[in-house]
With several copies, the nearest count.
Chain A
Amino acid sequence: MQFAFTDEQQMIRESARAFLEAEASLPAVRLASGAVNGYDEGLWQQMTAELGWSGIAIPEAYGGAGLGFVELGILAHEQGRRLVPSPFFSTVCLATPVILELAREEQKRQWLPAIAAGQLKAAVAVTDRVGHADIRKVGVKLAQVGSAWVLSGEAHFVVGAQSADLLLVVASAKDANASQSLRVVAVASGTAGVRIEATEMLDVTRPMASIYFEQVSVSAEDCLGVDIDASSGLQRALDQARTMLAAEAVGGAEYSLEAVTAYVKERVQFGRAIGSFQAIKHRLADTMVLVEAAKSMAWYAACAADEYANEALAVAASSAKSCCADAFNAVASNAIQLHGGIGFTWDHHAHLYFKRARASSMLLGSPAWHRERIALGLGLSQIASVPQF
């Protein structure tokens, strides 16, 4: 038990912060979000090929640094501070855990070194049109037709799909014997019958797309793993990704608080810095309480992503995801309020954080959905009516 960063972790954090402060200013972030696929490929290459961020949590055997989710979380947190648009979340925080949990050895050897080297970008397609957070409600079907397999249906809110080389598609499978299971199918993004439609989102810093599968032929080998239901491994990987969203949210919340604190020290009204008014002071104090609480949760959950078995991880991940999302929403909302009129304008950074906070809180399960999941995890008996997303 050692609930503090090691020296190595501290160093990773400091160098990541220094790098992003130099390379990912907020104007640059805005520019990147308007670029093709919504991110800056040059920056991405620096982050991956040069700095090795994409391989940080990949085992050394597959070309990574062999570290864990705490180190990955540090990188997610620093990118969250800057809202850096990049394929980092989709490829490194989401697809990589899915591969590590579910893929066969030869699949790992094929994909992981390429991800670690910054040469492969991946996305996970798991959400249906409504946005259900329950993986039993995926919108893609995998059907056995004779000896062939066919993928059809739609996936939505797929983070990073536009730029992905590799799509990991979660599908409900029915084999020739009509037995049901959940599968993850690897599909190259250029495959015939796969149509990727970029969707314009309120949060411009995290591009998403809808993907339509029209009778896409795949083979049994395209499934991750061999003949096993993917639910348990997928759930674990999703929970790991949720802990990374939590760390990222804390980064955004932390930056929002710092920026608005600096502003209220400068802005003068009634002949005083507005930060001298107790109403402002107390509001920021309450905000800081949320941020500090979220930090504790995010790092606890990052540890859990490494150390805990599935059920305990589920509770930790849901706790961190909802707690950090709520905190980020509240902080970003307060930041607009305390900036006054200027905080409501397009050119100010405040709304970018506000929109990212909301978008993140709706990604992979809303705070309410996660709280219901925690209740279930606490042993409170199942009920009829649960949040949809």
Chain B
Amino acid sequence: MKIGFSAAQEQFRNEVATWLAEQLSGPYADLRGVSSHTAMVERRRVWEAELGRARLSSVGWPVEWGGRGASLAEQVIFAEEYARAKAPSRLNHLGVELLAPTLLSYGTEAQKTRFLEPIVMGKEIWCQGYSEPNAGSDLANVATRARLESGPNGDEWVIDGQKIWTSLAAFADWIFVLCRTEEGSRGNRGLSYLLVPMHQAGVTVRPIREMTGHAEFNETFFTGARTAAANIVGAPGEGWKVAMATLAFERGVSTLAQQMDFTNEFEALVKAAQANGQATDPLIRQRIAEASIGLSVMRYSALRMLTNAESGALSHEAFTYRLYWGVWRKKLGELAMDVLGPSGEYAHGDSPLAHDLQHMFLFSRSDTIYGGTSQIQRNQIAERALGLPKEPRGN
């Protein structure tokens, strides 16, 4: 057990940092600090491609798929430097971090060949079609249907239904969709995992305005949407297993990138507190210290989790991680508002820094909801990690 990095690793850090600094002070200076899901989409597609060419899109991937086969330590370093450089948030994170590993585990060779390169090179942006209005916490209640039909383009899946909370759907090229392919099936049986092109008449996207005032999520409607019969991952009816595997990848190295964003938010908060004198308030100081402890907790919990994941085990800290950060960030949001004081109540803050912190505060209210509410997380921990009895379903 050792937390320091080797000289070779520090050398890698240096290389990454230099490349990022060059890009973000040079040709991509306009993208520095861009963090919203929805801003500067076309420019960020170009940036994704730039990362791909430098083999920095997914450093941990095998070399044959466009990565560098980087060690865990190197992936940590990349995530740190990426955030430190204030590089733009990854437009294609759902493709890079969720779909691609799923394909690497469950996809056919043809699927890998077809889809991985456009992901790593930033050519095709992906979004995720899981939740539905009546399948939120109870994801297995999915009602979106797909049936196989023959037609002029060969066999195709035809999809009808509605997904919700589909972030990035407004400009994504593809979506991975969990849908019911066995008529009359219930719960987690009879579901399939389909890859569906977004740019077709059968797919409609409607933005959802959130309490932040922005619309970072969407509703996505499928009305006779089509995709080739081959665009199914895993066997028909095995979609639940594949979808759960995808969710498990949320605990992957991407978590390190997210942490560095948290670190940036924390540092912005400290800066605001120093600027308006709140940093001398003993109550605020305690909470800043507590938030700082949380950053370390997340960092070292993630490292434990990733190390253990390498050995294939889903260990205790992996169950608790999601709940921890959701609760942590919500508290950070509240602290930010208490630091700002009354002027934090201006609709757009009274400075860009205040505006960002306020947005973080508002957005953080969803951190304990999306991707499984805290209540669902606690069930998981209690039942799967502590071995307590399962919650019974109703009728």
Direct A–B contact present (CB less than 8 angstroms): yes
Q: A264, B1: Cβ atoms under 8 Å?
A: no
What is the bound-complex CA distance between A271 and B316, given in angstroms?
29
A136 sits at the interface (CB 8 A): no
The verdict on B308 contacting chain A, using a C-beta distance below 8 Å, is yes
The CA-CA distance from A2 to B310 in the complex, in Å, is 12
Contact A261 B386 (CB under 8 A): yes
Q: How far is B338's CA from A387's CA once the two chains are assembled, in angstroms?
A: 10
Q: CB of B358 within 8 A of chain A? A: yes
How far, in angstroms, from A278 to B374 measured CA to CA in the complex? 13
Residues of B within 8 A of A323 (CB): 293, 297
Question: Bound complex: CA of A272 vs CA of B136, how far in Å?
Answer: 13
Judge whether B280 and A354 touch: CB under 8 Å. no
Q: Which residues of B contact A348 (CB under 8 A)?
A: 211
Instruction: Contact check, A383 vs B282: say whether CB atoms are below 8 A apart.
Output: yes
Per-residue CB proximity of B233-252 to A under 8 Å, as 1/0?
A: 00000000000000000000
A4 x B341 contact (CB < 8 A): no
A368 near B: Cβ within 8 Å?
yes
Instruction: Determine which of B73, B346, B370, B378 lies in contact with A201 in the assembled complex, contact meaning CB atoms within 8 Å.
Output: B346
Q: Kindly state whether residue B304 has any CB partner on chain A within 8 Å.
A: yes
- A275-B388, A292-B301, A341-B369 known; A282 vs B375 contact (CB < 8 Å): yes
B373: Cβ under 8 A from any A Cβ: yes
Q: Is the beta-carbon distance between A293 and B209 smaller than 8 angstroms?
A: no
A199 within 8 A of partner (CB) = yes
Q: Are A292 and B317 in contact (CB under 8 A)?
A: yes
Contact B208–A345 (Cβ < 8 Å): yes
The digit string for A374-389, where 1 denotes a CB below 8 A from any CB of B, is 1100111101011111
Q: For residue A369, which residue of chain B has the nearest CB? A: B341
**A337 vs B281: C-alpha distance when bound (angstroms):** 30
Partner of B283, one of A200, A281, A304, A387: A387
Is B387 among interface residues, defined by CB-CB distance under 8 A?
Answer: yes
A131 within 8 Å of B (CB atoms): yes
Within 8 A of A (CB), among B356-395: 358, 365-366, 368-370, 373-375, 377-379, 381-383, 385-389, 391, 393-395
Docked Cα-Cα span, A261 to B385, in Å, equals 11
Query: A6's closest neighbor in chain B, by CB?
Result: B1
Nearest CB on B from A297, distance (A): 6
Shortest distance from the beta carbon of A333 to any chain B beta carbon, whole Å: 7
Given known contacts A288-B320, A371-B289, is B388 in contact with A281 (CB within 8 Å)? yes
Bound complex: CA of A348 vs CA of B210, how far in Å?
9
Size of the chain A interface, CB-CB below 8 angstroms: 93
Contact of A163 with B by CB under 8 A: no
B390 closest partner in A (C-beta): A276
List of B residues within 8 angstroms of A303 by Cβ: 1-3
B258 within 8 Å of A (CB atoms): no
By the criterion CB–CB under 8 Å, are A282 and B382 in contact? yes
Asked whether B104 is an interface residue with its Cβ less than 8 Å from the other chain, the reply is no
Question: In the complex, are the beta carbons of A293 and B301 less than 8 A apart?
Answer: yes
State A97–B171 Cα separation when bound (angstroms): 56
Select the residue from A302, A351, A371 with max chain B CB neighbours within 10 A.
A371
User: A265 touching B388 by the CB < 8 A rule?
Assistant: yes
Interface residues of A in 325-342 (CB under 8 A from B): 333, 336-337, 340-341
Closest residue on chain A to residue B337 by CB atoms: A358
Q: Which residues of B contact A36 (CB under 8 A)?
A: none
B378–A383 touching, CB < 8 Å: no
User: Does B119 lie at the interface of the complex (its beta carbon under 8 Å from any beta carbon of A)?
Assistant: no
- Tell whether, in the assembled complex, residue B348 and residue A200 are in contact, meaning their CB atoms are under 8 Å apart: yes
| Residues of B contacting A355 in the complex (Cβ-Cβ under 8 angstroms) | 211
User: Which of the four size classes fits the interface of chain B?
Assistant: 35 or more
CB distance from A187 to the nearest CB of B (A): 22
A354 touches B365 (CB 8 A): yes
A residues less than 8 Å from B365 (CB atoms): 333, 336-337, 344, 354
Interface of A: prevailing SS:
helix
Within 8 Å by CB of A3, from B137, B286, B303, B337, lies B303
- Interface status of A269 (Cβ within 8 A of chain B): yes
Measured between beta carbons, the chain B residues less than 8 angstroms from A343 are 369
Considering the chains assembled together, what is the distance between the CA atoms of A302 and B1 in angstroms?
9
Contact of B1 among A3, A200, A344, A350 (CB under 8 A): A3
List the A residue with the shortest CB-CB distance to B318: A292
Q: Is the CB of B337 within 8 A of A383?
A: no
* B286 contacts A131, C-beta separation under 8 Å: no
**Chain A residue contacts of B286, Cβ below 8 A:** 368, 371-372, 375
User: Contact between B280 and A383 (Cβ–Cβ < 8 Å)?
Assistant: yes
Are B343 and A131 neighbours in the complex by a CB distance under 8 Å?
Answer: yes
- Knowing A345-B211, A371-B286, the reply to whether A1 touches B393 (Cβ < 8 A) is no
Flag if B210 contacts A286 (CB, 8 Å): no
Asked if B343 contacts A1 (CB within 8 A), the reply is no
Q: Let me know if B185 is at the binding interface, CB within 8 A.
A: no
Which of B299, B317, B375, B393 contacts A272 (CB under 8 A)? B393
B345 touches A297 (CB 8 A): no
Closest to A386 in B: B282
Interface pair B1/A9, CB less than 8 Å apart = yes
Report if B352 contacts A (CB, 8 A): no
B275 to chain A, nearest CB (A): 11
CB <8 Å contact, B386 and A285: yes
Would you give the 0/1 interface string for B245-276, flagging 1 where the beta carbon is closer than 8 Å to chain A?
00000000000000000000000001001101
| A254 CB, min distance to chain B CBs, angstroms | 10
Question: Which residues on B sit within 8 Å (CB–CB) of A345?
Answer: 208-211
B37 CB to nearest A CB, Å: 15
Task: Give the distance in Å from the alpha carbon of A20 to the alpha carbon of B138 in the complex.
Answer: 37
User: Which B207-236 residues have a C-beta within 8 angstroms of A?
Assistant: 208-211, 213
In the complex, per-residue mask of A1-45: 1 if CB is within 8 Å of any chain B CB, else 0? 111111001000000000000000000000000000000000000
Are the C-beta atoms of A375 and B288 separated by less than 8 Å?
Answer: yes
Q: Are A270 and B378 in contact (CB under 8 A)?
A: no
A300-336: which residues lie under 8 A (CB-CB) from chain B? 300, 302-304, 307, 316, 319, 322-323, 333, 336
In the complex, the chain A residue whose C-beta lies closest to that of B214 is: A346
A337 touching B368 by the CB < 8 A rule? yes
Q: Are A292 and B316 in contact (CB under 8 A)?
A: yes
Q: Which of A286, A316, A378, A389 has its CB near the most chain B CB atoms (within 10 A)?
A: A378
Within 107-165 of A, Cβ neighbours of B (below 8 Å) are at 127, 129-131, 156-157
B131 touches A341 (CB 8 A): yes
Contact B316–A288 (Cβ < 8 Å): yes
Is B53 an interface residue when CB atoms closer than 8 A count as contact? no
The chain B residues found within 8 Å of chain A, CB to CB, are 1-6, 9, 72-73, 76, 131, 134, 136-138, 141, 164-165, 208-211, 213, 270, 273-274, 276-283, 285-286, 288-290, 292-293, 296-297, 299-301, 303-304, 307-308, 316-317, 319-321, 323-324, 327, 337-338, 341-348, 358, 365-366, 368-370, 373-375, 377-379, 381-383, 385-389, 391, 393-395
Q: Please, could you name 21 A-B residue pairs with CB atoms under 8 Å apart, sorted by A?
A: A1-B76, A1-B303, A2-B2, A156-B342, A199-B346, A200-B347, A272-B394, A275-B388, A285-B323, A285-B382, A289-B327, A296-B317, A302-B1, A303-B1, A307-B4, A337-B373, A341-B369, A351-B211, A372-B286, A380-B274, A387-B283
Known contacts A270-B137, A368-B338; 10 additional CB pairs below 8 A are: A1-B2, A3-B2, A127-B342, A131-B342, A261-B387, A270-B391, A278-B391, A281-B389, A300-B300, A319-B293
